[in-house]
Amino acid sequence: MYHSKITGVGHYVPENVVTNHDLEQLMDTSDAWIQERSGIQERRFYRPHEKGSTAKMAFHASKMAMERAGVTAADLDAIVFATLSSDYYFPGSGVLLQDMLGMDTKPAIDIRAQCSGFLYSLSVADQFIRSGMYKRILVVGSETQNIALDLTTRGRAIGVLFGDGAGAAVLEQHNEPGKGILSTHLHSEGKHAEILCLREPGTGNDTIIYEGMHENHDAINPQMDGRFVFKNAVRRMPEVVMEALTYNNLTLNDLDMLLPHQANLRISQMVQKLLRLPDEKIYNNIQKYGNTTAATIPILMSELWEQNRIKPGQLYALTAFGSGFTWASALIRW
Ligand SMILES: CC(C)(COP(=O)(O)OP(=O)(O)OC[C@H]1O[C@@H](n2cnc3c(N)ncnc32)[C@H](O)[C@@H]1OP(=O)(O)O)[C@@H](O)C(=O)NCCC(=O)NCCS
């Protein structure tokens, strides 16, 4: 029986720090409003001179993860790449990263599950390893979101929440039961697809690019019913964490750390409260990066790795909720 475990994690964020005060120059907002509603103090936006497209940021994060795992590109069997902000409409960013890493003809799989993208990808990679098909997989989440944000007053409800960044993990086969990825749990509810979406470019208008597209503000900017997203996130994340614990005959007392997707500090605090977790058992970094969508969970893990806070034998729950709706969890015994 094969199992998978994470042997290295890495991350990359652009150097360009954009504070709430910087956003005050662009729109009618305030540092106080943003901090009070979301906890965000600053985020990173890539600038063209950094050459930081989604695949390139993923490349930097992947190199760090591979170095920490002690593997080279030649050791990898596949890439599973999550993003909602791919470099091209098609192909996905996975093949671009595959080329940058020099992975010959190894497969690259693109996953579109937005904020749950990394956990969906981890689940796909875990299944490949459990089946014995692959031994070592690079799992990546990377997002370049600032170019799709309306950073004027009209787009402020969404524009202040998101940031850019990338994270990656090397997943490897091992044979010790009860260690590594214990289980993953995935859900979606497509009836809420339009609650949080970006309509264009898409085929819903017969052609991908149509005349006048750039005049249709609602089509080319992300749309969100923030309150509805909030309510569903605080319901679904605790639910799917409990699903993972129950599946493994474990309880909240067994958990050493919860790493929740970083959409809003108030969402994380509510999830923490509902699960009755003490402060030391939850890790948040939204204050520095905003919501980096599929990159968030691996960035959290990479920061914990750097702080030497990931300890062998400890139990970690990862959970995410986002556009789709999609939500997911993973339970890891390190
Ligand atoms: C988006 C969110 C922060 C908004 O908080 P909220 O308390 O629901 O605020 P509302 O949207 O009701 O807006 C309240 C007021 O602030 C205003 N406002 C919105 N964005 C603003 C901004 N950036 N700066 C200042 N004022 C803002 C609104 O226009 C509204 O004004 P009004 O009362 O005069 O109409 C919150 O709903 C949220 O975090 N939702 C979840 C979002 C999320 O997680 N998305 C990603 C999922 S992965």
pLDDT 10s digits, 125-135: 999 999 999 99
Q: Tell me what pLDDT residue 220 has.
A: 77
Please give the residue that has the higher pLDDT: either 209 or 64: 64
Taking the CA of residue 38 as reference, the ligand 1 atom at the shortest distance is 3
Segment 144-148 mean pLDDT:
93
303 and 271 in a common domain = yes
At 206, is the pLDDT very low, low, confident or very high (cuts 50, 70, 90)? low
Distance 39 CA to ligand 1 centre (A): 12
pLDDT at 203 over 90: no
pLDDT at 87: 94
Pairing mode of beta strands 315-322, 257-260:
parallel
Predicted local distance difference test score (pLDDT) of residue 213: 62
Protein residue whose Cα sits closest to atom 44 of ligand 1: 263
Beta strands in 150-210 (DSSP E): 165-174, 180-188, 196-197
Q: How many CB atoms lie within 10 A of CB 31?
A: 17
CATH code: domain of residue 272? 3.40.47.10
Residues 24 and 91 placed together within one structural domain of the fold: yes
Ligand 1: residue of 31, 37, 152 to mutate (most ligand atoms within 8 A of CB) is: 37
Ligand 1 mean position, distance from CA 17 (Å) = 22
115, 221, 264, 284: which is the annotated catalytic residue?
115
Query: Where a domain ends, among 174, 194, 222?
Result: 174
**105 and 68 together in one domain:** yes
Q: What is the DSSP letter of 89?
A: S
| Residue 319 pLDDT level (bands cut at 50, 70, 90) | very high
Cα–ligand 1 centroid distance for 221 (angstroms): 16
Distance 89 CA to ligand 1 centre (A): 29
Examine the pLDDT at 104 and tell me if it is beyond 90: yes
In this structure, are 55 and 184 located in the same domain? Answer: no
Residues 26-44 have a mean pLDDT of 98
Q: pLDDT-derived band of residue 207, with 50, 70 and 90 as boundaries?
A: low
- For residue 307, the model assigns a pLDDT of 97
Structure-token pair, residue 327: 């939500």
Assess whether 26 and 152 both reside in one domain: yes
pLDDT band at 204 (very low <50, low <70, confident <90, very high): confident
Q: What is the pLDDT of residue 76?
A: 98
Q: Are residues 26 and 170 in the same domain?
A: yes
Count of other CB atoms within 10 angstroms of residue 249: 7
Residue in 232, 264, 284, 291 annotated catalytic = 291
Q: Is the pLDDT of residue 52 over 70?
A: no
| Residue 49, pLDDT above cutoff 90 | no
Which protein residues touch ligand 1 with a CB less than 6 Å away?
29, 33-34, 37-38, 115, 156-157, 160, 196, 224, 226-227, 229-230, 233, 263-264, 267, 291, 322
Nearest-CA residue for ligand 1 atom 15 is 157
User: What's the rounded mean pLDDT across residues 79-91?
Assistant: 95
Decide which of 131, 155, 174 is a domain's last residue.
174
Q: How far is the CA of 35 from the centre of ligand 1 (A)?
A: 11
Tokens of 300: 């959290």
223 and 303 inside one domain: yes
- How many Å apart are CA 298 and CA 315, to the nearest integer? 16
Per-residue confidence band for 47, with pLDDT thresholds at 50, 70 and 90 = confident
Both 105 and 75 in one domain: the answer is yes
Mean pLDDT of the region 280-294:
98
Together in a domain, 124 and 238: no
Stretch 246-268: mean pLDDT, rounded? 98
Q: How many domains does the chain have?
A: 2
Q: Is 106 left (phi over 0), alpha (psi -120 to 50) or beta?
A: beta
pLDDT of residue 262: 98
| Residue nearest to ligand 1 atom 8, measured at CA | 227
CA 123 to CA 329: how far, in whole Å?
Answer: 9
Q: Look at the pTM and tell me if it is higher than 0.75.
A: yes
Residue bearing the CA closest to ligand 1, atom 42: 226
> What pLDDT is stored for residue 334 in this prediction?
96
Of the three residues 116, 139, 174, the one that is the final residue of a domain is: 174
261 in active site: yes
Domain that holds residue 269: 180-333
Residue 216 has pLDDT above 80, yes or no: no
Q: Mean pLDDT over all residues of the chain?
A: 95
- Of the candidates 111, 105, 324, 127, the one whose C-alpha atom is nearest the C-alpha of residue 236 is 324
Q: What would the mean pLDDT of 171-179 be, rounded to a whole number? A: 94
pLDDT at 208 over 80: no
Which residue in 126, 69, 74 sits closest to 104, CA to CA? 74
Are 10 and 142 contained in the same domain?
yes
Same domain, 155 and 206: no
Q: Are residues 8 and 117 in the same domain?
A: yes
Give the rounded percent of residues in the chain with a pLDDT score beyond 70.
Answer: 96
